[in-house]
Structure 1
Amino acid sequence: MANMCPYGRFTHAVVRGIPENFGSAAGDARKNGEVSVDLAKAQRQFGCLTGALRQKVGLQLIEIPPDTELPESWRIEDVAIIQGDTALITRPFKHQRRSEVDAVRRVVSELSLNVVEMGGEHGESGGATLEGSDVLFTGKEFFVGLSSHTNRGGAEVLADTFRDFAVSTVPVCGGARLKHICSMGGADTIIISSSDGAKKTLRMMEQLTDHHYEVLTIPEESGANCIYIKGPSKRDFLLHRPADECPDSISAFQKLQDYTLLPTACSEASKLGASLSSLCLLVNRKHTYF
């Protein structure tokens, strides 16, 4: 049956630490193509995120150690889709990322979630790929962005796994991943970038849904990815990019009345094509296993 828990209610956050070879192989200021990333700063920002989730929101934090053999494994959102008591272990597009699922599989199993594998006919032989950065769950339905990392086969596996919810596919217009241009700001609010591509994707989503959503438009695309949580205290929290990273977006976030706004830096991870939600998996469990 569909999970009747209030949307955004979570008890645990699963994260994976920033490895020493974050973005590259050596040096404190790492090179990734033309982009320079700072390892120490990335680790500080990761610490601030985990601190906010644990100390301010009140979630129980499960941290998987960093792994230099899996330098992108800190993008933990990509490797599992969790809804209710079910965790779908995904199949990332890059072959070198597929070993990242092993540690996450162990954690969600220990949390007594029902683990579904993306294997069999939809896996190796079917060529299906699916990453969490392309999946937006609204509490009522799933939208799956068709991107360079997620294809229709992956969306079909998701639909087969979560049969209580409608699953719609939309092309990602003007952004690398669906959740780079939009996220949820509550049970009925979609936060979306003001870019032309994002607006086009939103129009497609509106045509595909039977539900009405309020729309909060964010002027900066990097600010459109937020993390909404209704914590154990039943307060509404929104983790969002801070003023020094998205100065024009702060006034839009302040329209969310009665929310606790938690500015959370993500500049270093964003240089590598990640976003705030890339850095955690959120789980709702009634009992404590850790």
Structure 2
Amino acid sequence: MANVSPYGTFTHAVVRGIPETFGKHEGEGRENGDASVDLAKAQRQFGCLTGALRQKVGLQLIEIPPDPELPESWRIEDVAIIQGSTALITRPFKQQRRSEAEAVRRVMSELNLTVVEMGSEEGNTAGATLEGSDVLFTGKEFFVGISSHTNQRGAEVLADTFKDFAVSTVPVCGGTRLKNICSMGGPHTIIISNSDGAKRTLKMMEQLTDHHYEVLTVPEEAAANCVYIKGTSPRLPGFLLHRPAEECPDSVSAFQKLQDYTLLPTACSEASKLGASLSSLCLLINRKFSYL
């Protein structure tokens, strides 16, 4: 069976620290134009995120040290797509980001995952680019956003890797990533921004799928990216990490509709200035044994 564990079941979270060079070489995707980033604040927010994953959710945390030579390596979601026991090492759009995968690949191997490489720029993967922030897994299927960072060939490599699941591509406009405008708010719920572009993307997703999803619309685009993790017992049905009221005040009432979940407001303002989101900062894995 392709997916024996309930959606959102995870045992480990892999993160990579915020380097001193945070924001030094990132010119695109800024949420607030030319707003400068606060390194110390970004590191504090990263610490709060990892604390929530470890202490409140109960995941085993694996932290890769920051690398000042790789200023965007904290965007760890981009370099691997994990489903079941398979980890696909992606090929980011920027050439200088591709060496970020080395440390992640080592962790995936140490966790005894089957590591699949997109390969070199030669052969049947020539020209393929794929970043995890453009990939939404719903538990039933994959949606891949075709953006300035992920192309059709990259989506085809993902489909070749995860053959047990349908893979559909949808356009993402305006230089953003698919998971900047939508995420999963549970096994059957898509959380999506109220922007016109997001509405168009959602309409296409609904046309392409054979499954029914509930939709929770949030008025602020920054609030659309959340991280859902299933609880470890029936009394803990699930956790939802989401942007706090200080960052997305208009979306608080929407999250309060999810009464069955433990809501964990998690700040992400500094990473968000660089076009990232909560899910950008972690890779979630389901393994039933300890990391060695």
- TM-score class, shorter-chain normalisation, is over 0.9
Partner of 1:266 in structure 2?
268
* SS state at 2:7 partner: coil
C-alpha RMSD of matched pairs (Å):
1.6
Structure 2 residue runs without a partner (length 5+): 26-31
Q: For residues 54 and 170 of structure 1, do their structure 2 counterparts lie closer, same or farther at Cα, with a shift above 3 Å needed?
A: same
Q: For residues 107 and 154 of structure 1, do their structure 2 counterparts lie closer, same or farther at Cα, with a shift above 3 Å needed?
A: same
Partner of 1:243 in structure 2?
245
Residues 194-209 of structure 1 mapped to structure 2, 5 A cutoff: 194-209=194-209
* SS state at 2:139 partner: coil
Residues 22-171 of structure 1 mapped to structure 2, 5 A cutoff: 22-24=22-24, 34-119=34-119, 126-171=126-171
* SS state at 2:69 partner: coil
Deviation at 1:35, TM superposition (A): 2.2
Deviation at 1:289, TM superposition (A): 2.0
* SS state at 1:52 partner: helix
In 2, distance between residues paired with 1:205 and 1:123?
Answer: 31
Structure 1 residue runs without a partner (length 5+): 26-31
* SS state at 1:43 partner: helix
| Deviations 1:83-139 (CA, angstroms, capped at 9, x unpaired) | 000000000000000000000000010000000000157779611000000000000
2:148–2:175 contact (8 Å) kept in structure 1: no
- Please tell me the residue identity of whatever aligns with 1:49: L
In 2, distance between residues paired with 1:58 and 1:122?
Answer: 42
* SS state at 2:62 partner: strand
Partner of 1:276 in structure 2?
278
In 1, distance between residues paired with 2:123 and 2:49?
Answer: 33
In the alignment, which of 257, 265, 269 is matched to residue 255 of structure 1?
A: 257
TM-score by length of 1: 0.95
* SS state at 1:133 partner: helix
1:79–1:92 contact (8 Å) kept in structure 2: yes
In 2, distance between residues paired with 1:35 and 1:221?
Answer: 17
- Please tell me the residue identity of whatever aligns with 1:76: I
1:89–1:105 contact (8 Å) kept in structure 2: yes
In 2, distance between residues paired with 1:132 and 1:123?
Answer: 22
2:125–2:157 contact (8 Å) kept in structure 1: no
2:135–2:143 contact (8 Å) kept in structure 1: yes
Q: For residues 256 and 33 of structure 1, do their structure 2 counterparts lie closer, same or farther at Cα, with a shift above 3 Å needed?
A: closer
Partner of 1:28 in structure 2?
none
In 1, distance between residues paired with 2:111 and 2:271?
Answer: 27
In 2, distance between residues paired with 1:189 and 1:99?
Answer: 35
2:134–2:150 contact (8 Å) kept in structure 1: yes
In 1, distance between residues paired with 2:214 and 2:112?
Answer: 34
Indicate the larger mover: 142-151 or 120-129: 120-129
Aligned residues: 284
| Deviations 1:184-221 (CA, angstroms, capped at 9, x unpaired) | 00110000001111000000000000000000000000
Q: For residues 125 and 170 of structure 1, do their structure 2 counterparts lie closer, same or farther at Cα, with a shift above 3 Å needed?
A: closer
2:195–2:221 contact (8 Å) kept in structure 1: yes
2:118–2:125 contact (8 Å) kept in structure 1: no
Q: For residues 197 and 174 of structure 1, do their structure 2 counterparts lie closer, same or farther at Cα, with a shift above 3 Å needed?
A: farther
In 2, distance between residues paired with 1:174 and 1:190?
Answer: 21
2:185–2:191 contact (8 Å) kept in structure 1: yes
